[in-house]
C-alpha cells in the first residue's frame, strides 16, 4: 500500500511540473489581451484641455449695431469738424466693439483630448462641450469620436 501511495505522489508531482512549464512557456502578450486580439482603435487618455473658442466670423449684426450706437454717441460730442471726427471715431470704435461682443456671445466650449493609442502613437481629438473623458481613462475610437470603455 505504501508503494501505491508513492506512485500517486510521483504522478501528482509530474502533473504539477507539466502544468507549471506550460504556464511559464505561454507568451505574456497572449495573457494580457483577451482572445489573443489587440485593439488597434483603443487607447488611454493622456490629457484634456477645455476652453472657449470664439466664433471665426460674425454675422455683421454686431458691427452694424456697434457702428450705429458709436456714431450716435460720437455725434453728441463737440461741434463743427470735431463733431464729424467724433462721429466717425465713434462709428469705427463701436463697430469694432460690436464685432467683438458678437464673437464672444457666439463662442463655444471645446475640449481637446490627447490619447495614447495601443500602438504607442498619440492622437488629438476635438469635441464640442465640456470634458467627457479623464486622464487615465481607457477609450476606443469609433467613427472619429471617443467612446469610454467603462
The three-class DSSP label of residue 94 is helix
Say yes or no: 97 and 133 in one domain: no
**Gap between the Cα atoms of 58 and 96, Å rounded:** 11
**Gap between the Cα atoms of 26 and 23, Å rounded:** 6
Cα dihedral 36/37/42/46 (nearest 10): 30
Question: CA angle, corner 52, sides to 56 and 116, nearest 5?
Answer: 105
DSSP summary character for residue 40: T
Structural domain boundaries enclosing 138: 39-54+108-150
Say yes or no: 75 and 95 in one domain: yes
pLDDT of residue 114: 95
pLDDT of residue 106: 79
pLDDT digits (tens, 9 = 90+) for 2-29: 554 454 565 566 555 555 554 554 444 3
pLDDT of residue 112: 93
Q: Which of 90, 105, 120 is the last residue of a domain?
A: 105
Task: Indicate whether this model's pTM tops 0.75.
Answer: no
Question: In the predicted model, what is the mean pLDDT of residues 114-139?
Answer: 90
Strands 122-128 and 138-142: unpaired
**Domain count of the fold of the chain:** 3
Q: Which of 69, 87, 105 is the last residue of a domain?
A: 105
Amino acid at each position: 500500500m505504501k508503494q501505491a501511495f508513492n506512485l500517486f505522489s510521483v504522478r501528482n508531482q509530474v502533473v504539477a511540473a507539466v502544468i507549471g512549464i506550460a504556464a511559464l512557456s505561454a507568451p505574456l502578450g497572449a495573457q494580457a489581451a483577451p482572445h489573443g486580439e489587440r485593439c488597434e482603435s483603443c487607447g488611454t487618455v493622456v490629457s484634456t484641455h477645455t476652453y472657449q473658442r470664439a466664433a471665426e466670423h460674425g454675422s455683421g449684426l454686431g458691427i452694424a449695431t456697434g457702428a450705429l450706437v458709436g456714431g450716435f454717441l460720437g455725434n453728441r460730442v463737440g461741434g463743427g469738424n470735431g463733431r464729424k471726427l467724433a462721429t466717425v471715431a465713434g462709428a469705427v470704435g463701436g463697430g469694432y466693439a460690436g464685432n467683438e461682443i458678437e464673437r464672444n456671445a457666439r463662442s463655444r466650449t471645446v475640449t481637446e483630448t490627447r490619447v495614447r493609442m495601443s500602438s504607442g502613437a498619440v492622437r488629438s481629438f476635438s469635441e464640442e462641450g465640456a470634458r467627457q473623458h479623464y486622464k487615465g481613462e481607457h477609450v476606443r475610437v469609433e467613427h472619429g469620436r471617443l467612446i469610454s470603455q467603462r
